[in-house]
Structure 1
């Protein structure tokens, strides 16, 4: 893969479309932008149409800050600046870049995986487990 782990921050800058699935609960389609704020911080913003399993349609927004790290990035909640997780990317046997992270939210735990492939796309998977949550979120991004 031509993209090095230390180049992920710059590679993410731009406009993305995405499809997100929470099996048995909801699906989403939307767009996201990653906009640089300075040399080491970028704002991630997304807007989505959410289709619940029962057919109801909602609209959602989400924001994070990405902070550049040597081999990846830190993801922070934009409103509070609290750390969601740190991502350190490594080259996999198939040539993709992959990072995994863990985040505890009260008694619930998010196990996350980010994969950047050979094309202009990447995927994020969050497995969420705990007394109040038990689901998996799959998101596939494609550069617009």
Structure 2
């Protein structure tokens, strides 16, 4: 079993590799960096990198979230997304009409993975991200 994680464990810069596999069509890959920056109420998470897909010009991709001390994750507009299980495990987010099932695996800490299975009438893909502490 994993050690219990707290917000302080994530603070700092992490290198990210990600593979996105749709139910139909070509896969995409992302390589970049995510940074958790402490705030008075938790942390801001900012991610930037390059997304590559077969037959397309590589493009810059970015995302931002706000994390609470309790490992709650919110979109940057304040809407709740999900809570990270402190020991690793699963969480679900329903974004009508699609469902996001997420799994956090902290067994190889300080490397960890986050996998999403997204299903619904608008989305159908699996995304697996590996985070390694940046040097």
Larger strand proportion, structure 1 or 2?
A: 1
Kindly indicate whether the alpha-carbon contact (under 8 Å) linking 2:46 and 2:64 is maintained by their aligned counterparts in 1: yes
Counterpart among 25, 28, 33 of residue 27 in structure 2: 25
Q: Aligned residue for 2:63?
A: 62
Gaps of 5+ in 2: none
The separation in 1 between residues aligned to 2:66 and 2:131, in whole angstroms, is 17
Cα deviation digits, residues 4-45 of structure 1 (max 9, x gap):
42x42110001100001012331000011001002x410000
Counterpart among 104, 108, 111 of residue 101 in structure 2: 111
* Structure 1 position 87 matched with structure 2 position 61: no
Counterpart among 100, 110, 121 of residue 111 in structure 2: 121
The separation in 2 between residues aligned to 1:28 and 1:136, in whole angstroms, is 13
- Give the C-alpha shift of residue 55 in structure 1: 3.4
- Give the C-alpha shift of residue 89 in structure 1: 2.4
How many residue pairs were aligned? 130
TM-score normalised by structure 2 residue count: 0.89
- CA RMSD in angstroms, aligned pairs only: 1.6
Over 4 Å off, 4+ runs:
none
Q: Aligned residue for 2:9?
A: 11
Cα deviation digits, residues 23-77 of structure 1 (max 9, x gap):
2331000011001002x410000001000132321101110011012xxx10000
* Structure 1 position 139 matched with structure 2 position 117: no
Which protein, 1 or 2, shows the higher relative CO under an 8 Å CA cutoff with sep ≥ 6? 2
The separation in 1 between residues aligned to 2:50 and 2:110, in whole angstroms, is 23
Gaps of 5+ in 1: 91-97
The separation in 2 between residues aligned to 1:83 and 1:49, in whole angstroms, is 26
TM-score normalised by structure 1 residue count: 0.83
